[in-house]
Chains A and B, each alone.
Chain A
Amino acid sequence: GDSVTQMEGPVTLSEEAFLTINCTYTATGYPSLFWYVQYPGEGLQLLLKATKADDKGSNKGFEATYRKETTSFHLEKGSVQVSDSAVYFCALIYSGGSNYKLTFGKGTLLTVNP
């Protein structure tokens, strides 16, 4: 079945450091890929998405590129801020058949220190 593997945390960085959170996936079809972010005490919010190979999703300084050849969707940000401290989830939806089920990775906790 479909699955998402993301790097285990926690990840602790200093403000203005470069961030990479790795995400790889296994899917039988051609999934759409997402990064969701969960700030403390809140629900998940969509951060960015990509729906086909080589698409780049971007939002709030974060970027991720859909790499079909490596089945990856790594999240990057050039300069993190304290306000980026949150849990980040990589997810996919299988775009064939029943396109309802989001499959999530286990989440990566990011803490950014001033």
Chain B
Amino acid sequence: DADVTQTPRNRITKTGKRIMLECSQTKGHDRMYWYRQDPGLGLRLIYYSFDVKDINKGEISDGYSVSRQAQAKFSLSLESAIPNQTALYFCATSDPDRWEQYFGPGTRLTVT
């Protein structure tokens, strides 16, 4: 089984809809992250969490919110989706003593 899972893997939604992307991990890591990937722009950090009670904004948090429901679960919400939020979204985890991040398979979101 994959260490970091994301649901859904693909989603098409309409402008103005609320949508939630979910991430679960079995690595036992405290740190979790949400990134978005756009062609030619690499990955950009949306939010990150060092533990259940710690949530921080990343580079591009406007239009997004997150919830850390448990050590293993970190959800990303788009309160009112807009077309320029069409992208590939990745969740990642890391151990604070090691700097590698472990990525989920991604969610491809299309906002029409």
Q: Interface residues, chain A, CB within 8 Å of chain B?
A: 32, 34, 36, 41-46, 49, 51, 89, 93, 95, 99-102, 104-107
List 5 additional contacts besides A89-B43, A95-B99; criterion CB under 8 Å: A34-B99, A42-B106, A102-B43, A105-B42, A106-B42
> Closest chain B residue to A42 by CB distance?
B105
> Closest chain B residue to A105 by CB distance?
B42
Given A106-B40, A107-B42, the answer on whether A99 and B99 have CB atoms closer than 8 Å is yes
Q: Contact at B41–A102, with CB atoms within 8 Å?
A: no
Q: Contact at A45–B101, with CB atoms within 8 Å?
A: no
In terms of DSSP, what is the predominant structure of the interface of chain B? strand
- Could you mark each residue 87-109 of chain B with 1 if its beta carbon is under 8 Å from any beta carbon of chain A, else 0? 00010101000011111111000
Given A34-B100, A49-B100, the answer on whether A43 and B42 have CB atoms closer than 8 Å is no
Q: Interface residues, chain B, CB within 8 Å of chain A?
A: 4, 31, 40-45, 48, 50, 58, 90, 92, 94, 99-106
| Closest CB in chain B relative to A33 CB, distance in Å | 10
- A41: chain B residues at CB < 8 Å are 105
> Closest chain A residue to B6 by CB distance?
A43
Q: Contact at A43–B41, with CB atoms within 8 Å?
A: no
Q: Which single member of A46, A51, A89, A95 contacts B42 (CB below 8 Å)?
A: A89
A41 to B101, CA, bound (A): 18
A107 to B63, CA, bound (A): 25
Q: Which single member of B40, B48, B100, B103 contacts A43 (CB below 8 Å)?
A: B103
